[in-house]
Amino acid sequence: TLPVIIDCDPGIDDAIALLCAFVAPQLNILGICTVCGNQPLPNTLRNALQITELGQRTDIPVFAGCHQPMFREPIHGQFHGENGLGNTAFPAPQKQPETLHAVNFLINSCEQAIRDNQPVTLCVLGPLTNLATALRMKPQIAAGIARVVLMGGAYHEAGNRTMTSEFNMLADPHAAHVVFSSELNITVLPLDATHQVILTPEHVGKFINVSGRISQPLGELMAFWDRNDIRRYGSRGGPLHDPLVIAYVLAPELFGSEKARVFVEYNSELCMGQTVADWYGKSGQTANVDIVTRVDAPKVFMLFYELLSRYAGN
């Protein structure tokens, strides 16, 4: 099995990603880190705990991470409802978060991975604050990270929070800069990829049918995700941003990518958080990021059905 850590800010699509990852037999989820993003940290932490209970994966430790972006004032998500989970009511979590800070958990896990010679894969579904802080505290942890697979940025696509910028990048562009200027192996699932995987009302109906004991809350989360913006997405529904990270980790052969160096704008108000790819080697810096631009969407949906149908009969 593949050792992974999931760093997230649930968030409806984060929640769907977690529910997919929980039942993937190939993954050994070492822990879930939470961060300020779609909601303030106390809420993303609570939501992560609630989702581990829904998925019956309270064996996975959940850690509270950074309360604020590195430098900017926090911004929060717009499409996740008051509670960050589409206003679906979940019982107050029984499970307690760990006392260790998420950044220390990341550092400890990477150091352990170096000792065991078994590097971990980091799945980052929110702003990059925790990982950037860990890298600033202990750059040596890079040797314990096999790959960072993250959702963020927009290349040929326009932004989704501003004209130029995707939410996770805009929420903490300085952290994104720290990560992209490191020498880590990075794969990004940008809007260019996630906008190819629109969860339509027809899909939602099918997921409700297959997902057994989680079908009601899952159906509510998914129904809330409908952006009703046909001009942008080509149909009703919403993009499955964060679950695509999990799909990539499980089945990279369903995706196509281009390699480039990535830079993140953190100085301009107009373009704050914009991701800029050096497609043609203008910067003189080595290409270190695999930017996913092609997705076999029908097969990715089949993978999601296969995963979420594991909740039927368990």
- Provide the minimum distance between the beta carbon of 198 and ligand BDR in the complex, in angstroms, as a whole number: 13
Residue nearest to ligand BDR (CB): 167
| Site membership for Ca ion, residue 14 (CB under 5 A) | yes
Q: Based on CB atoms, which residue is closest to ligand BDR, 144 or 239?
A: 239
Q: Based on CB atoms, which residue is closest to ligand BDR, 88 or 107?
A: 88
The residue from 5, 6, 7, 13 that contacts ligand BDR (CB under 6 A) is 13
| Site membership for Ca ion, residue 125 (CB under 5 A) | yes
Helices (H) and strands (E) in the chain, counts: 12, 11
* Window 229-248: contact mask with Ca ion (x via CB under 5 A): -------------x------
Site size toward ligand BDR, by CB under 6 A:
14
Q: Note whether 305 and 210 are within 8 A (CB).
A: yes
Q: Based on CB atoms, which residue is closest to ligand BDR, 113 or 151?
A: 151
Q: Note whether 171 and 74 are within 8 A (CB).
A: yes
- Provide the minimum distance between the beta carbon of 124 and ligand BDR in the complex, in angstroms, as a whole number: 9
Indicate which residue of 80, 177, 195, 241 is catalytic. Answer: 241
| Site membership for ligand BDR, residue 164 (CB under 6 A) | no
Binding partner of 167, given Ca ion, ligand BDR, none, CB within 5-8 angstroms per partner class: ligand BDR
Structure tokens at 89: 């009511």
* Helical pair 201-210 and 215-224, crossing angle rounded to 10 deg: 170
Q: Note whether 263 and 278 are within 8 A (CB).
A: yes
Nearest to 243 by CA among 295, 290, 205: 295
| Site membership for Ca ion, residue 153 (CB under 5 A) | no
**What is the number of residues in the chain?**
314
The neighbouring-strand residues paired with 64 are: 34
- Provide the minimum distance between the beta carbon of 28 and Ca ion in the complex, in angstroms, as a whole number: 22
The residue from 24, 107, 151, 176 that contacts ligand BDR (CB under 6 A) is 151
Terminal CA-CA length for the chain: 21
Structure tokens at 152: 């963020």
- If residue 210 lies in a helix (H) or strand (E), which one and from where to where? helix 201-210
Interface with Ca ion in residues 269-308 (CB under 5 A)? none
| Site membership for ligand BDR, residue 34 (CB under 6 A) | no
Interface with ligand BDR in residues 225-254 (CB under 6 A)? 241-242
Q: Based on CB atoms, which residue is closest to Ca ion, 171 or 178?
A: 171
The residue from 125, 134, 135, 145 that contacts ligand BDR (CB under 6 A) is 125
Structure tokens at 270: 């107009």
Q: How far apart are CA 180 and CA 298, in angstroms?
A: 30
Q: Return the SS3 of 107.
A: helix
Q: Is 241 noted as a catalytic residue in this protein? A: yes
- Provide the minimum distance between the beta carbon of 81 and ligand BDR in the complex, in angstroms, as a whole number: 12
The residue from 11, 55, 217, 237 that contacts ligand BDR (CB under 6 A) is 11
Q: How far apart are CA 156 and CA 154, in angstroms?
A: 6
- On the CB side of 115, how many CA atoms lie within 13 Å of its CA? 6
Interface with Ca ion in residues 64-123 (CB under 5 A)? none
Nearest to 118 by CA among 205, 217, 30, 49: 30
Strands 198-199 and 145-151: unpaired
Binding residues for ligand BDR, rule: CB under 6 A, are 11, 13-14, 38, 77, 125-126, 151, 160, 166-168, 241-242
> Which residues are known catalytic residues?
241
Binding residues for Ca ion, rule: CB under 5 A, are 9, 11, 14, 125-126, 242
